[in-house]
């Protein structure tokens, strides 16, 4: 079984290398990729491997619990990064590459202006990690950033992306490169790009009260903000925001259901009997309530689970974006 899986993954990695090279995401011997085989074993491209012309001999198997494997001279200089990521996020694939446009952009800017809904939903805010050496010397910073986004930019170096499979990882990297290209083109037309939606979302309604996360009082405080919010009220009427949406804390199975009618939450129930349920662990919800993780992005990247179709929720993207923005306006105890 493990032999068949390794053989299949090697084929995927070889094809992926060709695609990375063809799309100018990796040049020469830059970049490296790895994939989990389970039980602490991974496949990883060797040092000096050219991703655009990978051979099976360029991909080595490493047992992360075997000291002999860990001292293999063919290990890439980025192995410590892959090793730590694989230990924290098991059963994942990792792509580390050097996209031309993304590298150029983050060498100049510290954040990315998302101009399309696709960028907002699938990318969110891209964490940017300072990089001072040719190889990643502080992989723990990358791992910490990957807890809030499956895609991280390394300033003056490249990007690191994790996913359940190579196709999903490539989709994120290609989406980022396209978003950077769009931002560059947009600046040719208007150097002072304003996003009215983002501007509206910046209203500060923060209160001074601090609540235990996912307590009745915490969620009720969010409801009170929603029902006082003019933007949600306006969009709720325009878009007929009448739906039941539940949020659930997986650790304790605590759940709350928002009963929306024309943008107003007319009732708050302590159950998850709803057509749409967003659920996650406490650590992920904490990131959301602290404003470090966008709920839409968390769903598309698999950090949160959604019961129901994301496409159906997207018609209410504007008011729900505001709802998720209000999540972080209510302070929680840490």
CATH code of the domain containing 296: 3.30.1050.10
Within 10 angstroms of residue 19's Cβ, the number of other Cβ atoms is 15
User: d(Cα 141, Cα 6) in Å, to the nearest integer?
Assistant: 29
Indicate if 169 and 254 belong to the same structural domain. Answer: no
Successive 10-residue mean pLDDT values, the chain, 334 residues:
85 96 92 94 95 95 94 93 94 94 90 83 90 85 94 94 96 94 81 46 53 96 94 93 96 96 96 96 94 90 91 86 91 86
Indicate if 215 and 74 belong to the same structural domain. Answer: no
What's the number of domains the chain is made of? 2
Q: For residue 282, what are the CA distances in angstroms to 44, 53, 123, 253, 254?
A: 32, 43, 22, 11, 11
Instruction: Report pLDDT for 189.
Output: 75
Structural domain span for residue 282: 198-332
Indicate if 256 and 151 belong to the same structural domain. Answer: no
Indicate if 109 and 228 belong to the same structural domain. Answer: no
> Which of 124, 156, 189 lies at the terminal end of a domain, its last residue?
189
> Which of 166, 189, 212 lies at the terminal end of a domain, its last residue?
189
Instruction: Report pLDDT for 191.
Output: 56
Write the CATH number for 176: 3.40.225.10
Q: At what angle do helices 317-327 and 282-289 cross, to 10 degrees?
A: 100
Indicate if 82 and 167 belong to the same structural domain. Answer: yes
User: d(Cα 138, Cα 129) in Å, to the nearest integer?
Assistant: 10
Indicate if 102 and 11 belong to the same structural domain. Answer: yes
Instruction: Report pLDDT for 202.
Output: 41
User: d(Cα 315, Cα 332) in Å, to the nearest integer?
Assistant: 30
Quick check: 151 and 159 in contact, CB under 8 A?
A: yes
Instruction: Report pLDDT for 216.
Output: 96
Indicate if 293 and 254 belong to the same structural domain. Answer: yes
> Which of 157, 189, 221 lies at the terminal end of a domain, its last residue?
189
Instruction: Report pLDDT for 196.
Output: 43
Indicate if 162 and 107 belong to the same structural domain. Answer: yes
Indicate if 248 and 130 belong to the same structural domain. Answer: no
Indicate if 27 and 117 belong to the same structural domain. Answer: yes
Indicate if 9 and 51 belong to the same structural domain. Answer: yes
Indicate if 156 and 233 belong to the same structural domain. Answer: no
């Amino acid at each position: 079984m493990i032999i068949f899986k390794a053989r299949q993954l090697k084929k995927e990695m070889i094809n992926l290398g060709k695609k990375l090279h063809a799309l100018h995401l990796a040049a020469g011997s830059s970049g490296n990729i790895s994939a989990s085989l389970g039980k602490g074993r991974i496949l990883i491209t060797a040092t000096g491997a050219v991703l655009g012309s990978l051979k099976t001999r360029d991909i080595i198997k490493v047992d992360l619990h075997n000291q002999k494997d860990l001292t293999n001279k063919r290990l890439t200089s980025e192995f410590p990064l892959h090793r730590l990521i694989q230990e924290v996020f098991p059963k994942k694939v990792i792509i580390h590459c050097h996209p031309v446009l993304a590298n150029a952009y983050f060498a100049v800017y510290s954040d990315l202006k998302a101009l399309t809904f696709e960028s907002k939903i699938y990318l969110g805010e891209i964490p940017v990690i300072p990089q001072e050496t040719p190889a990643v010397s502080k992989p723990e910073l990358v791992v910490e950033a990957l807890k809030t986004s499956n895609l991280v930019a390394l300033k003056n170096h490249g990007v690191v992306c994790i996913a359940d499979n190579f196709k999903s990882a490539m989709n994120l990297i290609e989406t980022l490169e396209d978003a950077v290209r769009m931002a560059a083109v947009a600046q040719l037309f208007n150097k002072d790009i304003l996003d009215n939606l983002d501007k509206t979302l910046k209203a500060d309604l923060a209160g001074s009260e601090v609540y235990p996360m996912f307590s009745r009082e915490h969620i009720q405080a969010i409801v009170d903000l929603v029902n006082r919010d003019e933007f949600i009220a306006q969009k709720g009427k325009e878009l007929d925001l009448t739906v039941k949406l539940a949020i659930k804390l997986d650790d304790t199975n605590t759940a709350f259901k928002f009963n929306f009618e024309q943008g107003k939450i007319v009732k708050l129930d302590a159950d998850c009997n709803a057509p749409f349920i967003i659920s996650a662990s406490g650590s992920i919800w904490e990131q959301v309530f602290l404003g470090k993780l966008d709920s839409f992005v968390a769903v598309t990247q698999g950090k949160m689970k959604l019961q129901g179709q994301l496409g159906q929720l997207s018609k209410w993207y504007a008011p729900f974006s505001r709802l998720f923005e209000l999540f972080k306006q209510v302070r929680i105890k840490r």
